[in-house]
A and B are shown apart, each in its own frame.
Chain A
Amino acid sequence: MQPFTSITSVATPFPQVNVDTDIIIAGEFLKTTKRTGLGRHAFHSVRYDVNGHHIADNIFDRTPYCRAEILVAGQNFGCGSSREHAPWAIADMGYRCIVASGFADIFAGNCAKNGIVTVTLPQDQVDVLECEAEACREITVDLVAKSIILAEGMAFPFDYNPVHRHLLLNGLDEIGQTLQNEDVITKYEKERMHVTPWQF
């Protein structure tokens, strides 16, 4: 996974609340055994009409947002299912950061495993970022400093889940990390076998 320290980009404004994972990537596109190539199906109902024709001026595909790496989204973004296809699709579109006033837990965790930073800010600050996005002004997201910096220099500090931040900053293989410490798992299992033997 590519480490994330800081990026500067224009941002796509998408303020709709409760954007669910079906909107991000609909069920019909989950029938794949790969992680790649989902970007073209992302936000399908926003980018294509009912007949499947591409809507040329949709927010995601119009200039300059087609090259945006940041998405400014609405409250409770990513609610619904646990499908990791949602962050895979968003990453495939080129996004590396989503800013909103709230994210669904599973979605935020899935993003962290795929190099996507999910920044939670108060709604009034998200509203400011949306205006910046609408005006096509660049935004900087700095995960090291835990801060979002606007073009005119104003900064919004944010908190971040320490587990996710560690993964993102270092681009780590979490499994490899856990396996380095496999002895503690074996030790736990040996002890647990006496407490709940019916589980083994």
Chain B
Amino acid sequence: MPQTMYDKIWQQHVVEDRGNGVALLYIDRHLIHEVTSPQAFDGLRLAGRTVRRADTIIAVPDHNVPTKDRHLPNPDPSSAEQLATLEANVQEFGINYIPVDDVRQGIVHVIGPEQGITQPGITMVCGDSHTSTHGAFGALAFGIGTSEIEHCFATQTLVLKKSQTMRVTVNGKLPPGCSAKDMALAVIGKIGTAGGTGHVIEYAGSMVQDLSMEGRMTLCNMSIEAGARAGMIAPDAKTFRYIKGRPYAPKPEHWNAAVNHWKSIVGDKDAVFDKEVALEATDIAPMITWGASPEDVVPVTGVVPAPESFSDPNKVQSVKNALNYMGLLPGEAMTNVLVDRVFVGSCTNSRIEDLRAAAAIIKSRRVANSVKQAIIVPGSGLVKKMAEDEGLDQIFLAAGFEWREPGCSMCLAMNPDKADPGDHVASTSNRNFVSRQGPGARTHLVSPAMAVGAAIAGHFVDVRNF
């Protein structure tokens, strides 16, 4: 029977078939960070267990690290304790660790691909839902909870029930001014935040193939916002080129065998998916969220919808709540919304291509005076260095943006980068949940180009003619 890429990778990793689609699945690579791992290490210690394959794990601090003044002690004692706990744990269990002062430090989902850890055909996990990012390389990568982290530490496996499959096909060509972020938001707008629940998404179609590796990562990253635990893209020559020569890439003596293996895990042409969704890339416009769920999204030319325009009575109530929280009125044009803060960064949009797209919009203009703060946070020290070598930092600084050290930053308000209550934030991150960027903060999810456009204008703009 023809198999999807997911079927193939799943099958190759079954250690023990337990019937009814349940299996003990082997895990090849495991990324960890400071927030979700301490209790897993504690669990190991309590039970007198150890880590089965420390060589498959890499640890990096990202969620809690400040993105400036790193020479000073962490201003938050509980963050400092969590970071110190990670450091102690990786030492005790002999785990590869990238410390905060290492040039390779950055967001765990930027580090994995950058170091060549992320490879096609592997199973990869991390105690972070945006692990779906790594599916851009044709890996089966998904977020896990702390109990699963502990299970994976001790056994190098997870007990899982196989998901259903969904193919999202995007054909055609994205219009200028639109990016992978807009594709991701358009997909979520179409299928909803529960649309992919119980499924693994495979993205296909000419526009998906045309995306750079960075763009593919952005698209797969937000699979979880569509409810899917994993998103994947078939690996191709672009994927192999990206991996070649990176520190954790297969060594030259294994390279050809690895590439042959990677080609073999691409899904069969006539494989059948449980669900099919199709979008036309030419129909996609720059997208922007108005509410408190990523599915609350419209093209930038759109308006805030009326709660009554939704059919589900429970959704009507949540839209009312969302508009109240966001301080927006039905019918308001999205381009009229004033912006208080701008954040370019996060595991969704902090790679070099994102920073290039952000810099390209500036064209010698400056951040509007009405904007309190506009920060650019590269995804890793290596991205930062690359951007500086290209002179992007100078473009940002000259325009009035702050140029920061790598980390999760204002995506989730677990470090000093936060928005104030009531602030409208043009954010390239992935979640516009209530208080996600700080208590009372009002997040609008957009692409890097859209975020920078908003910073310059002081309100949202259609970057296609800006």
Interface-located stretch among B138-146, B350-358, B363-371, B375-383:
B138-146
Binary interface encoding of chain A residues 175-187 relative to chain B, with 1 for a CB under 8 A from any of its CBs, else 0? 1101101101100
Docked complex Cα distance between A80 and B188 (Å): 13
Is B194 a contact of A75 with CB atoms below 8 Å? yes
Contact of A33 among B81, B224, B293 (CB under 8 A): B81
- Are A163 and B312 in contact, with the CB atoms below 8 A? no
Residues of A within 8 Å of B224, CB to CB, are 80
Given that A20-B433, A31-B79 are known contacts, is A109 also in contact with B148, CB under 8 Å in the complex?
Answer: yes
Please measure, in the bound complex, the distance between the C-alpha atom of A87 and the C-alpha atom of B147, giving whole angstroms: 11
Asked whether B122 is an interface residue with its Cβ less than 8 Å from the other chain, the reply is yes
B39 contacts the other chain (CB 8 A) = yes
CB within 8 Å of B: which A146-175 residues: 161-163, 173-175
B465 CB-CB contact with A under 8 Å: no
Q: Chain A residues near B63: list those with CB within 8 A.
A: 30
Q: How far is the CB of A183 from chain B (nearest CB, A)?
A: 10
Q: How far is the CB of B201 from chain A (nearest CB, A)?
A: 12
Question: Do A84 and B147 touch across chains, with their CB atoms under 8 A apart?
Answer: yes
Complexed CA–CA distance, A17 and B317 (Å): 9
Q: A113 on the interface (CB 8 Å rule)? A: yes
- For B28, the chain A residues whose CB sits under 8 A away are 199
Let me know if B421 is at the binding interface, CB within 8 A. Answer: yes
B151 touches A84 (CB 8 A): no
Stretch from A3-11, A60-68, A91-99, A189-197 that touches the partner: A189-197
- B229 interface residue (CB < 8 Å to A): yes
B314 interface contact, C-beta 8 A:
yes
Q: How far is the CB of A107 from chain B (nearest CB, A)?
A: 8
Please determine whether A27 and B412 come into contact, CB atoms closer than 8 angstroms.
Answer: yes
In the complex, what distance in Å separates the CA atom of A20 from the CA atom of B107? 22
In the complex, the chain B residue whose C-beta lies closest to that of A87 is B145
Residues on B with C-beta less than 8 A from A82 are: 36, 127-129, 131, 143-145
Contacts of A39 in B (CB 8 A): none
By the criterion of a CB under 8 Å from any partner CB, how many residues of chain B are at the interface? 82
For the complex, give the distance between the alpha carbons of A133 and B396 in Å.
54
Answer whether residue A76 sits at the interface, using C-beta atoms and an 8 A cutoff. Answer: yes
Whether B122 lies near A199 (C-beta < 8 A) is yes
Which of A26, A102, A162 counts the most chain B CB atoms within 10 A? A26
Contact A174–B147 (Cβ < 8 Å): yes
Q: Is B150 close to A, CB under 8 A? A: yes
**Chain B, residue nearest A28 (CB):** B413
Any chain A CB within 8 A of the CB of B440? yes
- From B251, B254, B435, A22 is in contact (CB under 8 Å) with B435
The interface-forming segment of B98-106, B152-160, B332-340 is: B152-160
Interface residue A79 (Cβ < 8 Å from any Cβ of B): yes
Summed over the interface, the residue pairs from A and B with CB atoms below 8 Å come to a total of 194
Interchain CB contact under 8 A, B78 and A163: no
Q: Which residues of B contact A55 (CB under 8 A)?
A: none
CB of A114 closer than 8 Å to a CB of B: yes
Task: Decide: B144 and A106 in contact? CB cutoff 8 A.
Answer: yes
Which residue of the partner chain A has the closest CB to B128? A82
Residues on A with C-beta less than 8 A from B82 are 31-33
CB distance from B375 to the nearest CB of A (A): 18
Residue in chain A with minimal CB distance to B258: A198
Is A110 part of the contact surface with B, judged by Cβ < 8 Å?
yes
The answer to whether A50 touches B439, judged by C-beta atoms less than 8 angstroms apart, is yes
Partner of B76, one of A31, A50, A79: A31
Contacts of B18 in A (CB 8 A): 163
Q: Which of B4-22 contact A (CB under 8 A)?
A: 12, 15-16, 18, 20, 22
For the A-B complex with A76-B227, A106-B142, A196-B261 known, give 14 more contacts whose Cβ atoms are closer than 8 Å. A17-B315, A20-B434, A31-B35, A31-B81, A32-B82, A75-B194, A87-B145, A105-B163, A105-B198, A106-B145, A110-B146, A173-B47, A176-B47, A199-B122
21 A/B residue pairs, CB under 8 Å, sorted by A = A28-B414, A33-B42, A35-B39, A35-B146, A45-B439, A75-B314, A82-B128, A82-B131, A82-B143, A83-B145, A84-B39, A84-B145, A106-B143, A114-B147, A174-B159, A175-B43, A179-B49, A179-B154, A189-B26, A196-B258, A198-B250
Q: Which residues of B are at the interface with A, using a C-beta cutoff of 8 A?
A: 12, 15-16, 18, 20, 22, 24, 26, 28, 35-36, 38-39, 42-43, 47, 49, 52, 63-64, 76, 78-79, 81-82, 85, 119, 121-122, 127-129, 131, 142-148, 150-151, 154-157, 159-161, 163, 193-194, 197-198, 224, 227, 229, 250-251, 254, 257-258, 261, 293, 295, 312, 314-315, 317-318, 321, 412-414, 421, 431, 433-436, 439-440
